[in-house]
């Protein structure tokens, strides 16, 4: 399962609970890839309930490969290049 840009829009309580159930069911059964701009400390803003958030992070980070990317957004870089070119 691939979840792209998790946290871009916060979940309702019901939505967060449903996603938790899906991810809990998939735990150690299949691969899950998640992309997000949020650090783990900010996930409780997306999932509303801090206890559920901690349980979810516990499952997701168990045996996980966490890749922290600090490079610039390629979309922003491309937009800046186009705008700079248009100004000249």
Could you tell me the residue ranges of all domains in the chain?
2-87
Distance, C-alpha 49 to centroid of its chain = 16
For the chain, 88 residues long, the average pLDDT of each consecutive 10-residue run is 90 91 91 91 88 92 89 81 63
Output the pLDDT for position 84. 63
Q: What is the pLDDT of residue 82?
A: 74
Name, in order, each residue with C-beta under 8 angstroms of 42's C-beta and a sequence gap of 6 or more. Answer: 7
pTM: 0.74
Neighbour count for residue 43 (Cβ, 10 Å): 19
Return the pLDDT at 76: 81
* 2-87: CATH number: 3.40.50.300
For the chain, the C-alpha Rg in angstroms (whole number) is 17
Q: Which tokens is 23 given?
A: 């991810």
């Amino acid at each position: 399962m691939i979840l792209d840009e998790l946290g871009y829009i916060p979940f309702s309580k019901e939505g967060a609970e449903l996603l938790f159930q899906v991810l809990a069911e998939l735990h150690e059964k299949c691969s899950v890839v998640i992309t997000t701009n949020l650090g783990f400390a900010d996930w409780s803003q997306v999932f509303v309930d801090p206890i559920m958030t901690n349980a979810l992070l516990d499952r997701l980070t168990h045996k996980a490969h966490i890749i922290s990317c600090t490079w610039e957004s390629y979309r922003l870089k491309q937009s800046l290049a186009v705008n700079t070119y248009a100004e000249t």
